[in-house]
Amino acid sequence: MKRRKWIAVTLVALLAAAAFVAATARPADPALFPPKPGERTVTVYLLYNWMHSRLVVPTAALEASPAAAAAIAATPRKGPWTAVSYGDARFYRERGWTPMRVVDFLRSMLAPGNPAAVLIEPMPQPSPETLGRPVTRLVLTERGFERLRARLDATFQLEAGGPIIIGRGRNPDALFFQSAKGADLAHQCNHWVAGLLNAAGVPVNLALATLTRGLSWDLRTRAGATPVPGEIRPVAALETPPVYSGTFRPLMRRVDERTGAVTFEAFVIRFGRGQRLVTRPERLVRAGEPRPGGETYAALLQVPTDSLVEIRRVDLEAAAPGGAPGLCGERPTRQLVLGFWTRPRAPYEISMAAFAATPPSEASLCGVFHYSQP
């Protein structure tokens, strides 16, 4: 009797799962997809890892789209291909796996309608060798791509007619933009990509798209997508310092006395003692590069010579209440030099050098401060 009960429960669960999958299926639009013989087409690519997917499209094909074209124009450099992706504005922009990040991941999934971000990133020709991950090719009609482009445009939150930059991506040439649509478990990165493709007439299943491999399998099975052949191998690439969002704790007592924990919010830096700096990124340099009239950035910040360091100009400084000293004491802070490094299976750590003059000099160095991601 007990065995029959478990069989019945299993069958009911399977039928419920099948009904849910069927209910979340979005059919193809035969007027848009698949391409008919002789019809003009646009090739796109799906990139994915174990939890996140991105869509890669020809840059030239996006430039007829007002918001997407403005986002591409804002990036430091264009490529022949552009990756577009989406995610929770806080979790997606921060990095690393720590206990606090696990909690934040659960928040990004379970809390409804979280603020979201769109990432625009230039790309080379997509392939497993160039990108170090599986790549799936899909051919759309030109008319279908126009619908996809319109849906992408609608994702951006606009201000004065243009998309709003909220931070730089891991790739130095990539930028995050504020999304007009919220993110949660029912609408995360893979669902967003599936929605773009469905706007182009491609059949998708939102339940399967909850997982990246489910999305890829569905596109291969029902939309004729094909894996791009090639060996998946690690790709060496420089990363920007991961300081565009998130809170870091001081590693030294004297730093705590001076600033407290530091929160990076795109180009605004908030200190635990109430000080606030509005900064403007000026340039990225290799840490092994010599500073004007001084040692290398690596020696200054105690970071690896092959890492990237960012120079930021301070446009506005709000002093801490109660007369607490700022990074440069009574002098205003004029420039920051930011670097980072990682420890094996440990959080990111940040070094920040503050200067009271622009361009910085040894006499204007106010101190070097070290922080760790909780």
Residue-wise pLDDT for 206-244, tens only, equals 999 999 999 999 999 999 999 999 988 877 777 777 777
Question: Quick check: helix, strand or coil at residue 22?
Answer: helix
DSSP assignments along 205-226, one per residue:
ETTGGGSHHHHHHHHHHHS--E
pLDDT exceeds cutoff 80 at 15:
no
**CA Rg value for the chain:** 24
Mean pLDDT of the chain, nearest integer = 87
**Residues 6 or more apart whose Cβ sits within 8 Å of residue 20:** 207
Q: How far apart are the C-alpha atoms of 123 and 126, rounded to whole Å?
A: 7
The share of the chain scoring above pLDDT 70, in percent, equals: 92
pLDDT tier at 340 (50, 70, 90 boundaries)? Answer: confident
Read off the tokens for 113.
């309608």
Q: List pLDDT tens digits, range 237-287.
A: 777 777 777 888 888 777 777 778 898 887 889 998 888 999 988 888 889
pLDDT tier at 194 (50, 70, 90 boundaries)? Answer: very high
HEC string of 321-360 equals HHHCCECCECCCCCEEEEEEEECCCCCEEEEEEEECCCCC
pTM for the full predicted model: 0.82
